[in-house]
A = this chain, B = another copy of it.
Amino acid sequence: MPAAAAPDAPRRRGPRADGTDTRGAIRAAAAAEFAERGFASATIRSIAARADVDPALVHHYFGSKAALFRDVTQIPVDPAAGLPGVLAGPPEQLGMRLARHVLTLWEDPAFRTPLLTIVRSALVDPERARPLREYLESQLLPAVARELPGPDAPQRVVLAATQLIGIVLGRHVVGLAELTRPTVEQLAGRVAPTVQRYLDGTDQA
């Protein structure tokens, strides 16, 4: 197993001498690592070891672990890319900005299709939800939660996410007329107060 290579063993720094596809090897190693160890436990180093390449090469080709994850799962749009802009701006309108951001992302088939494929495979085998779950729990959700006050901020962000994903499911999978007829802007406006209350922690009765 390549992972058993001694820490100081020299690793390839360039394209493989035997002409095999280094990017493809890294991608395959990453898919295996994410599947076996999950997103959180898999590391650039462990993926590099498995692919028998230098970690610097993984960074060179893919940038970050999150970017590699998106590549492997074929999600070409980074849902976190727009977050800084969403999180900036008046806090009292964060609910609307976040709702608009999430619902707009899901309008794009290039984002929606691979994501729904992951959900579908998670429905076949719950274990397959693990990379997505760990990506959400270790990357995307904390990126929002750390901007919010209160020890229950992580839970409140998850609740806000459930409201938005429920809309996505009803609009793009079940196709309920009440959710397909409105524009994204109308829908975002409709759920923004709920999302805002979760983010503010004022959602309790």
Query: Do B194 and A163 touch (CB < 8 A)?
Result: yes
**Which of B122, B166, B167, B191 interacts with A174 by CB under 8 Å?**
B122
Interface size class of A (residues with CB under 8 A): 35 or more
A20 proximal to B (CB < 8 A): no
A120 proximal to B (CB < 8 A): yes
Query: Do B154 and A161 touch (CB < 8 A)?
Result: no
- Indicate how many identical chains form the complex: 2
A129 proximal to B (CB < 8 A): yes
Query: Do B163 and A170 touch (CB < 8 A)?
Result: no
**What separation, in Å, do the CA atoms of A159 and B130 have in the docked complex?**
28
Specify which chain B residues have a CB less than 8 angstroms from the CB of A161 in the assembled complex: 166, 170
A177 proximal to B (CB < 8 A): yes
Given A154-B178, A178-B155, A192 and B170 contact (CB-CB distance below 8 Å): no
- Interface of chain A residues 101 through 124 with chain B (CB within 8 A): 116-117, 119-120, 122-124
Given A179-B158, A193-B204, A122 and B165 contact (CB-CB distance below 8 Å): no
User: How far in angstroms is the closest Cβ of chain B from A119?
Assistant: 7
**What separation, in Å, do the CA atoms of A126 and B161 have in the docked complex?**
23
A173 proximal to B (CB < 8 A): yes
A183 proximal to B (CB < 8 A): no
- Sample of 11 A–B contacts (CB below 8 Å): A119-B123, A119-B173, A120-B120, A129-B174, A129-B175, A130-B175, A162-B166, A165-B170, A166-B169, A193-B205, A194-B203
